[in-house]
Copies of this chain bind each other. A is one copy, B any other.
Amino acid sequence: MIKKVVSGVHEALEGVTDGMTLMLGGFGLCGIPENCIAHLVTLNIKGLTCISNNAGVDDFGLGLLLQKRQIRKMISSYVGENDEFERQMLSGELEVELTPQGTLAEKCRAAKAGIPAFFTPAGYGTEVAKGKETREFNGKMYLMEEAYKADFAFVKAWKGDEAGNLIFKGTARNFNPCMCGAAKVTVVEVEELVPAGSLDPNQIHVPGIFVNRIFKGETYEKRIEKRTVRTK
């Protein structure tokens, strides 16, 4: 078994420098790599390009990096929950590439799986198609989309073992598995880190080969964006 465990968030983020392209898992605030983001803020690294479905909220998630102007460019599908983001975007301080959510997921998956490009119907006939090759297959029009290239992927899993095998919980899975192995270095933080052999090999969501570094996150706030309940 190949060991992936690092001592903590400090070692996990070694090598992240100005101007890099980062992938960050999560949907809204669900399943985001809280510990990695918190440490990125303290590192004061600038000029980042972040590939992440959302951009957090003003005071949590990627919003923390936005507030400190560490992000030069965001690649996301939906950014509606973040006023600071909208302000920076409309003022031109922040470059934004809005990408259909399924295309974003597939561009990560393609990077991970060695597929340099693929065709999707999403965005055909819209401004997303600008500058992209279009082609007809079976009477329908498609866009060609290329795989992402990223330096680091930051991923949050529920359980992980020393061999880097991962299991996610509920909808906190989202983009996290797609980003494992999609960057040069994949860093994973987990709620529970177990010895190799503790997880059923049949029930691994992401095999360890897609993971370079793994550590147990110190704390998880797991903030709920829209607590919605019914009464008994």
Contacts and interface: CB of A to CB of B under 8 A. Distances in A.
Interface in A116-139: 116-121, 135, 137-138
- How many chain copies? 2
Contacts of A135: 117
A116 B137 CA distance: 7
A151 interface: no
Nearest to A167: B202
A119 B118 contact: yes
A7 interface: no
A146 interface: yes
A141 to B, nearest CB: 10
Interface string A171-203: 000000000000000000000000000000111
Interface in A93-115: 106, 110, 113-115
A115 B115 CA distance: 12
Contact of A117 (B114, B119, B167, B203): B119
Contact of A114 (B110, B113, B116, B121): B121
The 10 closest A-B pairs by CB, nearest first: A116-B137, A118-B118, A117-B119, A115-B118, A116-B119, A203-B203, A116-B142, A117-B137, A169-B202, A115-B119
27 contacts: A106-B113, A106-B115, A110-B118, A114-B120, A114-B121, A115-B118, A115-B119, A115-B120, A116-B119, A116-B137, A116-B138, A116-B140, A116-B142, A117-B118, A117-B119, A117-B135, A117-B137, A117-B142, A118-B118, A118-B119, A137-B146, A167-B202, A168-B202, A169-B202, A170-B201, A170-B202, A203-B203
